[in-house]
Structures are given as structure tokens and as C-alpha cells.
Amino acid sequence: MSTESLRIVWVYPDLLSTYGDRGNMLILARRAQLRGMPVEVLEVRSDQRLPATADIYLIGGGEDGPQALGAQRLIADGGLHRAVAQGSVVFGVCAGYQLLGTSFFAKGTRYPGLELLDLSSDRGPTRAVGELAGDIDPRLGLPPLTGFENHGGRTHLGPGVSPLARVTAGVGNDEATEGAWRGKLLGTYSHGPALARNPAMADLLLRWATGVHQLPPLDDTWSDRLRAERRAAVAAAARA
């Protein structure tokens, strides 16, 4: 951790916040506070400088126009690149995941990405809308991914990243893999408040940010029930 408290930055909520993206910030902050960590949360709008010294950066989803604008401003700002070079954690969701790559499509045009992850995105034949589930890379030690996806993009991973998960339901990157990670950077098509359904992933980000390998367990009764219910719903849909 860079300072006395855990610093979480929500990047450009004015542009990249379409589907309850605020949830990821709220969940990380709450799970840190319940472990007694002091937390400082910053919402940085796109007309402000991005501080380079925070511990966790959250980048949410957005429509095509805001996504293109957000990428442009992040490249011009340079703060996120400096933060990554210093070992900060980045969690990108949907449009925020795509723009971490080398390029993405918005409004029919190819835009340069931040080149923080070795991946590129283009348009798929159909819009992927619905439940998304997958088995997460065993090296991350997480239970299965559950989420909801809503995107028109397909993402192609280069050798410099690992898939976050193997898809068991839904589309993700390309119906085979979903999301990507490298070092302390992680992206997913599980959109909006992805961490609400995946509290263990929230804890992974907290462990990366703090270097604490064992976090005290929390009462996850409600998210456990939610995960079980969603798993059952996906299984029922597969049988139908």
C-alpha cells in the first residue's frame, strides 16, 4: 500500500459507468473496511488529472462514444500507465476491459487502446447478452466466475496475457475464454458490479493491493446464496 490508507480510484465515472459500476468501488471499500483497513475512495472525472499513486484503479463499462473518449483521455493523461509501472492494481469491466488492450471498435471505427494488456477487440456477429459463467484460471485460486454480460465485442488474447476463465455459459471473449489477467491487471466482460457476485475476486484485488496473503474471512451468506441461485438458474437454462 502506497500510503496510510488503501486508495481506490474509480476512473471516469462521468464516462464509464453504465451498469451499476459503482458497485465494484463500494464492495472493495466495504470489504477492506470490515477488515479494519482505512480506505480512501476517489472518483476522478474525465476532466481531472488521474492520480498515479493509488492502490486500485477501477474502470467500468460505457457506451461507444464515452468509451472512445475515455481511452483518448487516459492515453493523454498517462496517470494510469505510471500507476501500473509502480505496481498498482487495475480492474477493468466490459468497455473498461477492452480499452486496456491495444485496440477496440467503437461506432464502427478502430480506436487505439492503452496497451496495458496484450489483447485486441473487434465486433462480434451478435450482441452477447445474458448470464456469463466460467472456471477461473486455477493459479488465481478463485471459485467459478458468475456474472451478466452485455457487449457486442469479441476479444482476442495475445501471448502476453492469460485468460481469466474458461467459459461454461455465455460468450465472454469468444465463447471459449473470458476476460484476461497479467500481473495485477485483470479485465472481465462480467459487467457492472461484477464483484457483487464474485466477492473472492474482490478479495484477490485487495490481496494484490495490500500484499496481505491471508485476509480475515467475512460473512458472505447473501452473496453465497446469490451465487448458488445464479448457478442453479444457469444450469436450469442449459437443460431447457
Partner 1 sequence: MPLRAKVASSVSRTAAALSRAAGRGDGSVIGGWLGLKIDPDLLAHLSAGRAIALVSGTNGKTTTTRLTAAAVGVLGRVATNSFGANMPTGHTSALAKAGSTPYAVLEVDEHYLAQVLEATEPHVVALLNLSRDQLDRAKEVAMMAQLWRAALVRHPDIRIIANADDPMVVWAASPPPNHDHRIAPPQVTWFSAGQRWHDDSWVCPECGSTIQRSGDQWWCSGCPLRRPQPQWAVEDDGVVDPTGAWHKVKLQLPGKVNIGNAATALAVAAEFGVRPVDAVLQLGTVTSVAGRYAQVERDGRNIRLLLAKNPASWLEAFDMADEAPTLLSINARDPDGLDTSWLFDVDFAPLRGRQVLITGDRAYDLAVRLDVNEVPFQHIRTFDEAVRAVPPGRLEVIANYTAFQDIRAELDRVN
How far does CA 37 lie from the centroid of its chain? 22
Hey, is 117 helix, strand or coil?
Answer: coil
Q: Which of 81, 151, 156, 191 is catalytic?
A: 191
Residue 191 is a catalytic residue? yes
The stretch near partner 1 (CB under 8 A) out of 21-29, 36-44, 132-140, 171-179 is 21-29
Residue of the chain from 120, 146, 173, 223 that contacts partner 1 (CB under 8 A): 223
In 47-113, the DSSP E strands lie at 56-59, 89-93, 103-106, 109-112
- What are the residues whose beta carbons fall under 8 Å from the beta carbon of 52, sequence distance 6 or more? 79, 80, 82, 83, 86
Rounded to whole angstroms, how far apart are CA atoms 25 and 230?
A: 22
Stretch that binds partner 1, among 24-32, 50-58, 118-126, 160-168 (CB under 8 A): 24-32
* Closest distance of CB 138 from partner 1, Å: 26
Longest dimension (CA), the chain: 52
Active site annotation includes 151: no
- Binding segment for partner 1 (CB under 8 A), chosen from 19-27, 112-120, 160-168, 181-189, is 19-27
What grid cell was written down for 164? 481469466
Binding site for partner 1 (CB under 8 A): 13-15, 17-23, 26-27, 30, 45-47, 63, 65-66, 69, 129-130, 148, 150, 191-193, 196-197, 222-223, 225-226, 229
